[in-house]
A = this chain, B = another copy of it.
Amino acid sequence: MYLRWVLRSLVSRSRTGAYGLHGGRFFSAACSGAPLTRNPAKIPKILYACVLLFTFLTIDVVGIWCWLAENLISVVLMASMMSDIRSTKTIVQERFTLQLLPAKASEIVSMLLYKVEKPHPKEPLDPFALVADELSMLADRLRSMVVAEVPKLSSAAEYFFKVGVEGKRFRPTVLLLMASALNMPIPEAAASGAYNNFSKDLRARQQCIAEITEMIHVASLLHDDVLDDANTRRGIGSLNFVMGNKLAVLAGDFLLSRACVALASLKNTEVVSLLATTVEHLVTGETMQMTTKSEQRRSMDYYLQKTYYKTASLISSSCKAIALLAGHTAEVSKLAYDYGRNLGLAFQLVDDILDFTGTSASLGKGSLSDIRHGIVTAPMLFAMEEFPELHEVVDRGFDDPANVDVALEYLGKSQGIERTRELAAEHANYAAEAIEALPESDDEDVLVSRRALVDLTHRVIRRTK
């Protein structure tokens, strides 16, 4: 399993040349004593690249190579999860017996670890704090953007933009950090076709993407709550509960139209199309969830597709929109998209775990709410793979609370939660890789923002509410 993964990695990496280059560059940097990268986010990747490179070059006995690869992978996985140089070093030293490497390689790895440690003392990093001021400006502007001619419509539309109920502001945080992370010179060829003349107010336009994304997100919450007959949201009464279904539907429509008008003002039709499609995806995901057939409820593919539509499409497309507005190449825009997609999937997978393990207070809605609504998520799907007899239980539906208990019993016996967590970690890792694959930059702000984006991938995995 590990071996196949390593081989696939090596083949795909060597095709793009990225890892080979990294390894090569840092090999010579290490030998010559020149400064290493100042970007801490890249360090686990560099270690990985160097060690793989040397291993590959110097060891040709398959048995030893496999053993090495297994150790390497676990070291790198753990290191990249921790994003902490000091612990990375400890783990490498503990888990990886350097003596097994040929003398030269071992020496270089030690040197790298030493170098890596010095220029990057661990600093506390809070992604939300980095953009806090901008977020509060953005929240003010959002409140003014959703003012309607009719007072009742205004109060409905602004309901979830009021101070205190703005939610975690996860999406705007990601998007503002992405805007900073991509703040680098654009190649002439790409820029000429794009809206380079807008570069002065580029940041304002990117903030607008964050605002539009929040409006689309809140509009979908309003309509979802109507569909689910929800009573609460973000710790207060849901809009449909407080002002009625009619106003909740209308307020959602209103937010969508305001989002569309704001989109049009950006004068970039690719971006309009991209974000309009996310609305379609939100609807498609919701319908998939509502109309699941028996065999679809057993399918992990169906589940992941639905999750992409419901949770990952909006954030991935808006990340891409941030890149497109800046006039970046298709490659860079794709990396921005990949980050959003994988972060979104990881987020939802953890959400699915928390629906089983969290408490009602920290989840914002009653725990076990998915399964009680008959929605089968990743933990249960993994459990079904281990215990085929669980299929029958799931097919019976969960209107009967006793059946919920039976399913939970199976889940408890299975590796469902652990495997979901692993899958989430894998996606979080892919997200971090997308950031690390961005074109290099020496700009301190760019580096800090990228570090914050990688940090968010860890927070998503670690979060308990």
Q: Nearest residue in B to A151 (C-beta to C-beta)?
A: B291
Residues in chain B near residue A263, CB distance under 8 A: 272, 276
Residues in chain B near residue A249, CB distance under 8 A: 223, 226-227, 249
Residues in chain B near residue A266, CB distance under 8 A: 269
Residues in chain B near residue A283, CB distance under 8 A: 153, 250, 253-254, 257
- Tell me, in angstroms, the Cα distance from A266 to B264 when the chains sit together: 12
Q: Which of B152, B227, B272 contacts A246 (CB 8 A)?
A: B227
Asked whether A149 is an interface residue with its Cβ less than 8 Å from the other chain, the reply is yes
- Tell me, in angstroms, the Cα distance from A261 to B261 when the chains sit together: 13
Asked whether A464 is an interface residue with its Cβ less than 8 Å from the other chain, the reply is no
Known: A253-B223, A253-B256, A280-B254. A152 touches B291 (CB 8 A): yes
Would you give the shortest CB distance from A451 to chain B, in whole angstroms? 35
* B260 & A279 in contact (Cβ 8 Å cutoff): yes
- Tell me, in angstroms, the Cα distance from A149 to B306 when the chains sit together: 11
Write the A256-279 contact mask toward B (1 if CB under 8 angstroms, else 0): 111011011111011011001101
- Tell me, in angstroms, the Cα distance from A288 to B258 when the chains sit together: 17
Q: Which of B227, B257, B270, B287 contacts A152 (CB 8 A)?
A: B287
Asked whether A117 is an interface residue with its Cβ less than 8 Å from the other chain, the reply is no
Residues in chain B near residue A252, CB distance under 8 A: 253
Residues in chain B near residue A149, CB distance under 8 A: 284
Residues in chain B near residue A254, CB distance under 8 A: 280, 283-284
- Tell me, in angstroms, the Cα distance from A99 to B249 when the chains sit together: 65
* B265 & A269 in contact (Cβ 8 Å cutoff): yes
* A276 & B260 in contact (Cβ 8 Å cutoff): yes
Q: Which of A212-254 contact B (CB under 8 A)?
A: 223, 226-227, 245-247, 249-250, 252-254
Would you give the shortest CB distance from A141 to chain B, in whole angstroms? 18
Known: A253-B279, A269-B265, A269-B267. A284 touches B148 (CB 8 A): yes
Residues in chain B near residue A62, CB distance under 8 A: none
Asked whether A66 is an interface residue with its Cβ less than 8 Å from the other chain, the reply is no
